[in-house]
Structure 1
Amino acid sequence: MEVGDGTLAVGAGRPGAENFAPALPGPVFAGHYHLAGEASGPYTYGRDSNPTWTLLEQAIGELEGGAEVVSFSSGMAAVSAVLLSQVRVGDVVVLPDDCYLTTRALRERLESYGAVVRMAPTAGDAQAALVDGARLVWLETPSNPGLDVCDIARVVAAAHAAGALVAVDNTLATPLGQRPLDLGADFSVASDTKALTGHGDLLLGHVATRDPGLADAIRLWRKTVGAVPGPMEAWLAHRSLATLQLRLERQSANALALAEALWGRVSGLRYPGSPDDPSHEVAVRQMRRFGCVVSFTLPSEDAAERFLGSLRLVMQATSFGGVQSSAERRGRWGGDAVEPGFIRFSVGIEDTEDLVADVLQALEKIT
């Protein structure tokens, strides 16, 4: 039976009804399991598998439109698992030069292993021109923090024609905003620390694929490197999925309202869900929801810091996707090609009028 996203999110990965059993079993804390005789079966050792991971991975697999999922201890563990398990000496990797800065930092590691790294911007599908001879093409759309968008299906077609695999960092959109696997990608990767779980209280990541061989390779990487999620984190994540559709709807609506309120008041305003955004035409073709992040630039570092310090409802934090709105001056970290006054704003689920009013009063303090 076809169901809506809200229904899917509530029921994803939950076991069938059983008398006197909870709807979602609690976390299983186990470093090892009782093994009589031969060590065969689904659960043998705590670094290999865990019943709590199993339910979460089944749930995310349903949200991804049907996929095998491997969960990880963080988003970067998931990113590294794909990049470092699939690339060998002499292989060519294509990365966006405007993706998450820690993903870009893997360039040095890849090159130290003898791989060749090519880089191009997300906008304009520029990476499609670099796929000849590549082993793996990595996309991040919308990009973080600049919010550029590429046409996933177009780049995938070019990459596959050249014999390359394609991985998409889908952190900002989540599977209810965008399904890279439906657009032909081989991997959908995300930091579930952010919007998927949405409460800012855990670190987690996942890799989804519809290719059993690729899934096995990712699981082997997790087993040998040991980047496994804790059962409590996995259980919290699964519990949080029930409200994913509700959170995304409210965050997307709030983000659009904020972008509209900021139009003409700030420079460099970006939100792919806004009809005025340069990426909107591509975004509407492949996204069902446009995420919670709005970016813009204030006149100076000082103006940005005064703006942030004047916000009353908004937390100053470096992550995004949480139920509470947060914002930061991104340039304080270095590594991103942004102006000193660039603001990455993660829109939460507060009442729209309250949030917009808070942002506008903070802007008045710097004008």
Structure 2
Amino acid sequence: MITFGTYDAARHPRTAVLVAGLRAHGVKVTELNRPLGFSTAERVRMLRQPWRLPVLAARLLRCWAGLTADALRLRRAEGVPRAVLVGYLGHFDVLLARLLHPRSVVVLDHLVFAGDTAADRGATGLRVRLLTGLDRLATACADVVVTDTEEHRRMLPDPRKGVVVLVGASDEWRPPGVETHSPRVEPVENPARLAPLSVVFFGLYTPLQGTPVIAEAVRDAVAAGAPLRVTLVGTGQDLARTREILAGTPGVTWHDWVEPGELPALVAGHDVCLGIFSDTPKGLRVVPNKVYQGLAAGCVVVSSDTAPQRRALGESLELVPPADAAALAARLTDLCDPAVLRAARERAVRGRDRIRPQVVTEPLAAALRRRDVL
């Protein structure tokens, strides 16, 4: 089996999780990868702003030339691959994969629907229709389409092609010493005493993430006396509004950017990792990377109580109603109680092994076995 595409596993570890999981199932995986070098936000911005497309096209063609040469060399050496996995954000790459490997089973990791993502970020009309058409073309080129939630599988033109594979977290997110079994919850001398609670959020500040809700919750909890130390990482559409809400709130640290290799350690240094909190249609359909990564890093994860998040890891997460700043403020305040925090940590540990690459890729491995390509 080969992986194929312009994915960037350092910035977007989804493909790395799939590769690690398949290898753990005994699959020989050869990677053919020429990273495009654009972030998710840059790709979406280019698709929403057509005058930027020539830059995308020029770089894409250079990467494709290299991928084509790589694929032909590998075919001469090892023959036609039985399966080709097109990595994350492979809407265009899958077209080339289908052309180069007409007799192989092509698997597309369709973690992001371009039309749906653009609409969530404010695009309308023709742009959304064109991007939705791109989604349809990309999925039509694949024999198997991997999605991260059942809700996304149902959005496929042919849901029968879909296989739900949770995003999971790569081993880089598991710092040394993170427990893999339930810790013993020791009694505390004064369980009513509030202790300083360190909280981290990282993301692109898109509407689905609900960062204004986070800001309102932090502001109100701190104003009511909760001892919070909050780290906010990233930039994006809702950053200005988030900063406006938190203006004057003590204990908040801002980082526009943290290198991918440094982010796991930063997150692991906090008690709580925040997920998403919007009630947008997309926000109700996804389980974000940060939920899995925060859990793997040893944090208690607080996120919105939506069907896919509850289904995936509900017993291991601290869930609050979507778009409810008061409920989030109350939950963060509760977690300042050492006894409550320790109990939440015990729940989090129970889900940590369920997000390992080998576990989350079992549905994909099973689908490939049914096609007799493993």
Q: TM-score, normalised by structure 2?
A: 0.26
Ranked by relative contact order (alpha carbons within 8 Å, sequence separation 6 or more), the top structure is 2
Give the structure with the higher percent helix: 2
Q: TM-score, normalised by structure 1?
A: 0.26
